Structure 1
Amino acid sequence: MNVKLVVVGKLKEKYFKAGIAEYAKRLSRFCKFSIVEVPDEQAPETLSQAQMDAVIEKEGDRILNKISDREYVYALAILGKERSSEEFAKEIDQLTTYGHSNITFVIGGSLGLSKAVLKRADTQISFGKFTLPHQLMRLVLTEQIYRAFMINAGSPYHK
C-alpha cells in the first residue's frame, strides 16, 4: 500500500520535520509513505479575487500533476466531512479491502484548493473549522494516518 501527501509549500520548522519524520518511520511498517511538495505561488500580501483565483489555479495544476488516475484522493477542506479517528480508520481499511492501494491526501496552499482539485478528489475531509497552519496540518494528518493504521491493527495506541 502507498500513502502519499501532496502538499503546497516547503516544510520549514525543524520541530514539524522531526514530528513528521517520526510518524513516517512508524508508518513504514504498514505502508510506503511519501510526501510530495509542490511550490507555492508567490503573490503579494493583498490580492484581488482574480489574483487569488489565479494563484489557486496554478497551485492546483501543480497538485494535479502529482496525482495519477489510480490514486484514491482525499482533499483536506474546511467544508469536507468530519470523521472520528475510528471512522477514518474504518474508511482506510475498507479502501484497502476494495483494491485501493494508492491513497493520496492533498493539502492546498494558504488560499485553499482549486475547483479542479476538489473535483478530482474522491472525498473531502475536514479536521474541523479551526484554521491551522499548513505545516502543522501536515503533522496532524500524518499522526491521524498512523493512528488509523494502529486502530486497524488492534493496537492500544489509540486509547
Structure 2
Amino acid sequence: MSRANTSSAPTGDAILLSETFGINAIDSQKYDRVSRISGSNPDIKFHLDIAHDLYPMAPGETIELCLASTIKLDGSSDMEQAKQGWRDLDETPTLADGYDYVCYGKIYRFEEAGVDSIKAFISFGGLLLYLEGSAKKLTALKHEHVYCLVKKV
C-alpha cells in the first residue's frame, strides 16, 4: 500500500523524540539481513538494528529518527490497533506517510549514564535501538510502546 507523503505531525505529546543524525558506521557481519547502524549528533548517540534489505544505508548519510507514541495525526492513541499491525489502522494519512522505514516496539529499560545523561533501550521484535545522551532530550521517553520512524535527509 502506498500513501502520499504528508508534512503534518500528530498533535499533543505524540512526538517523543525527533533528531537528525549522521551515520558513522554500519556493521553487517553478524546477521544476513540485519545491520547495526551507529550514529550521533551533538546531544545523542545511537545504535539501531535495521533490515538492510528493506532499507539500505551507508556511512556518511544523514537520517531523521523520530520516536512517537502514535502515528495518528490527531494524536489519539492507536496502541490496541497497533499491537495487531500498525499498517492496518485504516486508509487515512498517518505520520508514517512521511517516513521510509517504520517499526513498532517497546521501551524496556533505562539507565543513568552520568550526571546529565541517560541510556534508553527499545526492542522492535528483536531489532534493537540503543540511545545514549542528554537527559533533557531523552526524558520524554516514558511510554512503554513507541513507533520508530526513519528517513534519509
**TM-score normalised by structure 2 residue count:** 0.26
Question: Higher relative CO (CA 8 A, sep ≥ 6), structure 1 or 2?
Answer: 1
Structure with greater helix share of residues: 1
Comparing both structures, which one devotes a greater share of its residues to strand? 2
> What is the TM-score with the length of structure 1 in the denominator?
0.26
